């Protein structure tokens, strides 16, 4: 069975791809930009906000059983566009929330057929219990993603599909910045361990890359 990872062209997604390959897993990795020079995964182009692209990828993967779907693709729109104009909000929710929903919706049949699991890469910044201010669009979209994951966990439990929601840590990537705490490779190792531990007993969990629970 295969692992499908979205937003795998760089950063945490690419590190997750490398780690999954190192663990001997078959990996399908998606990117909306150029394909990285990494051999091993099956690379696919995907814009997660595009329903037609999602359906087309699902059709190309027909018959491939999925053991794990990792919804990693995400953006921090206000870092690229100062202020909080309508486009920042629209882009944030289109990718960080709607993109997650479209990805799950497209690949749910394959997950049902194989009893696979779903991992949503969110952020501790999506915790409503932690509200230090700022980053409004990013925080709100990640809070919505956490809520989406919790509700999916409830609805999919009866079908044997576990859903986990994860904070990868403050990672040294283009999004996290050079002053972040950990390297992407460290986050990926921790996250892959959490994905392996995910079960119906822990479905709906919101935790960090080390397995520490986060407040909702």
Residues forming the active site: 138
Is 121:12 a contact under the CB 8 Å cutoff?
yes
Is 47:53 a contact under the CB 8 Å cutoff?
yes
Is 123:180 a contact under the CB 8 Å cutoff?
no
Question: Whole-angstrom Cα distance, residue 142 to residue 123?
Answer: 6
Question: Whole-angstrom Cα distance, residue 50 to residue 98?
Answer: 9
* Cβ partners under 8 Å of residue 35, min gap 6: 9, 43, 45
Question: Whole-angstrom Cα distance, residue 140 to residue 34?
Answer: 29
Is 66:110 a contact under the CB 8 Å cutoff?
yes
Residue with tokens 């944030």: 92
Q: Is 70 left (phi over 0), alpha (psi -120 to 50) or beta?
A: beta
Torsion from C-alpha of 127, 148, 104, 189, nearest 10 degrees: 20
């Amino acid at each position: 069975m295969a692992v499908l990872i979205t937003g795998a062209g760089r950063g945490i997604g690419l590190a997750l791809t490398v780690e999954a390959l190192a663990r001997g897993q078959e990996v399908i990795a998606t990117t909306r930009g150029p394909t990285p020079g990494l051999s091993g995964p099956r690379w696919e182009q995907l814009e997660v906000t595009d329903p037609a692209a999602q359906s087309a990828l699902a059709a190309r993967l027909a018959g491939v059983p999925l053991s794990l779907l990792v919804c990693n693709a995400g953006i921090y729109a206000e870092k690229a566009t100062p202020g909080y104009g309508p486009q920042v909000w629209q882009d944030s929710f289109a990718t960080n929330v709607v993109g997650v929903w479209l990805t799950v919706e497209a690949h749910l049949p394959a997950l049902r057929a194989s009893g696979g699991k779903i991992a949503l890469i969110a952020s501790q910044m999506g915790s409503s219990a932690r509200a230090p201010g700022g980053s409004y669009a990013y925080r709100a979209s990640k809070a919505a993603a956490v809520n989406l994951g919790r509700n999916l966990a409830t609805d999919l439990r009866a079908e044997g599909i576990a859903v986990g929601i994860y904070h990868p840590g403050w990672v040294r990537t283009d999004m996290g910045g050079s002053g972040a705490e950990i390297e992407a490779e460290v986050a990926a190792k921790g996250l892959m361990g959490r994905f392996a531990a995910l079960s119906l007993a822990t479905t709906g969990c919101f935790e960090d890359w080390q397995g520490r629970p986060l407040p909702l």
